[in-house]
A = this chain, B = another copy of it.
Amino acid sequence: MAGGDEVKEVRNQQVLARDYISAIPEESDMYLNTSSTIKLRVPDDDDCSTAGVLVKNLYLSCDPYMRSRMTKRDPGASYVDSFNAGSPITGYGVAKVLESANPKFKQGDLVWGMTGWEEYSIITATDSLFKIHNTDVPLSYYTGILGMPGMTAYAGFYEVCSPKKGETVYVSAASGAVGQLVGQFAKLSGCYVVGSAGTKEKVDLLKKKFGFDGAFNYREEPDLDAALKRFFPEGIDIYFENVGGKMLDAVLPNMRVHGRIAVCGMISQYNLEQPEGVHNLMHLVIKQARMEGFLVFNYYHLYGKFLEMVLPAIKEGKITYVEDVVEGLESAPAALIGLFAGRNVGKQVVLVSRE
């Protein structure tokens, strides 16, 4: 590490969690700390001296799963621990290594993985970091199509749902970071795919940009069951579940025999004190259908295979990706909160620094 006295100390703006919340999250549940500083070196303590890296954060990712981290729970009670009040928000991001005490990384490496909502971070849990080898795509893609959401779409669609050519696929929250990819994977697999979203703009994206066979605005459908029957007169083979609640209840009776539901998330439920009740589960029996929850963490061993498929598809224009990028850490709280109101159009990214 660099010697103590030559170390530069710089401003390190941070977005901190204010306190735990139980209801609808608001921007004010986080706050910007502009007075923090950091010494630009890997600290010499036990945690860092053999494994730590100092990174400069370039892009940060806003993802729905982060909502559950804003609620106080016992450690280990969920698959991700709660944020620490008074500490920086943590999440996926793209960063550049400034200094490394870890033999796996060296100065100048670009990485994606778990980092902090701040300008610079010391990362000790380096197992979660992936080195970025392909830089002829936008770096921000590593928060989305080439990062966790991309792997989520890939694992959920291909591994959990085992699609077959000609099958019918329905995707909710279809213009989001994950949904837009599931729809495009479905088309590449020779499936018929319909998506739903919450604005006309998003519905247009689904049809015109992502090539969905059909799309609808769920807010304009007083009868979700009727909407699904319109697009799937013969039923749904695969449902990629992103929203939960009433949508799931409408989907269940429309499933086909041996249908599969990959449960990726239930964003419509995260801000409710008690999740809505789902009444139509008996249709799992009637249709001999399977409903399976999954977490991307268990599929990262497929990341290499995933890149082999998706990188050429991006370069050949067979897959496209829409991002909603805001600039500056100060914009991050509103961007995260906006996810739960569907304000983002495409993958929500925060640009912290252009290197």
Give A contacts to B, CB under 8 Å: 78-79, 244, 248, 263-266, 269, 274-295, 298
Contacts and interface: CB of A to CB of B under 8 A. Distances in A.
Given A275-B280, A277-B279, A285 B289 contact: no
Contact of A282 (B269, B280, B288): B269
A274 B290 CA distance: 22
A288 B293 contact: yes
A293 B289 contact: yes
A289 B298 CA distance: 13
**This chain: how many copies in the complex?**
2
Contacts of A294: 285, 288
A285 B280 contact: no
Main secondary structure on chain A at its contact with chain B? Answer: loop
Contacts of A281: 244, 248, 263, 266, 275, 278, 291
A266 B280 CA distance: 11
Given A290-B290, A291-B290, A291-B292, A266 B285 contact: yes
Contact of A278 (B264, B269, B277, B288): B277
A284 B291 contact: yes
Contacts of A276: 277, 279
Given A78-B286, A275-B282, 19 more contacts: A248-B281, A264-B285, A274-B279, A276-B277, A277-B278, A278-B278, A278-B279, A282-B293, A284-B291, A284-B292, A284-B293, A285-B293, A286-B293, A288-B293, A288-B294, A289-B292, A289-B293, A290-B290, A291-B292
